Amino acid sequence: MKKVLSVILLAVLVFSLAACGTQKDESASKATKTKEVLKIGAIPDQNAAELDKGMTAVAKYLSEKTGMKVEFVPSVDYAALVTGFQRGEIHMAWFGGLTSVQAISLVPGAKSFAQRPRDAEFHSVFITQPNSGITKLEDLKGKSFTFGSESSTSGHLMPRYYLTEAGIDANKDLDGKPNFSGSHDTTYKLVESGAFKAGALNEAVWEAAVKDKKVDTNKVKVFYTTPSFYDYNWTINSNVDDVFGKGATKKVEDAILSITTEQKEITDFFQTDKFIETKNSNYEKIQKVAKELNIIK
């Protein structure tokens, strides 16, 4: 009898320990889920320190608004951000029109959901030195020229498109191959210094540089502004609800759309007073132009 009782007690003990282990595993699993970090990114199209400051402010705001842990992850270039998004490592990103189209084509279910009001009618500006003799796009034939990043909508894609419309093949009609500066602020500095006769960049970055006196307008001026096009937007990955739980996507979207001038550090950085809704179909023209220019397949 004693032997039977001992066996029963041993079995109960083993079962209890197994149950505790299962509960601990379940608890650990839940804890891991709540500790997931929502990683946000942005195309590195301007000064790295300013970008880090602005996006870190966004991360802090989202953390407070959603209760999720949010972190800004810098990218070395545009392509790296798109790749991070494709892999699911970046959950939301501030893309340009072209990079958002690239990202959405690679991630089924991803969506562009918010933009600044100005992004529905965005422009690129072409700049040159005042004494260059360049007053229109056609004057760029035979001149040295710099774009921004090769993956930039306002620093390359749309400027190249409007050059083509003006009868200029950027690969054949300039003074050598066009340069790619990597960022909008570098573009205006290169033209200001005389390293290149002309260049094209994001209108908003140019306006901010003039306002903050970061560019000498005695040495560089705008000579052409493009027609409007859709550009920058917030794009959210299709994996957010899977990683952070049902409703997480809407929670993040609502937080971005609720930003006002009370979040001054954010609105100052983005040069806006709010974000408004957008949708993937708004960027169909960007996709069409990118295909025409063989920038995307």
pTM: predicted TM-score of the whole model, two decimal places: 0.82
Distance between CA atoms of 295 and 289, rounded to whole angstroms? 8
Q: Which of 67, 104, 52 is nearest to 234 (CA)?
A: 104
The confidence score (pLDDT) of residue 223 equals 98
Pick the CATH number of 36-120+231-282 from 1.10.3720.10, 3.40.190.10, 3.90.226.10, 3.40.50.1820: 3.40.190.10
Burial of 248 (0-12, 13-18, 19+ CB in 10 A): buried
The confidence score (pLDDT) of residue 294 equals 86
- Please list the ranges in the chain whose pLDDT falls under 50: 1-34
Pick the CATH number of 123-225 from 3.40.50.620, 3.40.190.10, 3.40.1790.10, 3.30.365.10: 3.40.190.10
Q: Could you state, in order of their start, the residue ranges of all structural domains in the chain? A: 36-120+231-282, 123-225
The confidence score (pLDDT) of residue 88 equals 98
Distance between CA atoms of 230 and 125, rounded to whole angstroms? 15
The confidence score (pLDDT) of residue 297 equals 75
Domains 36-120+231-282 and 123-225 share a fold: yes
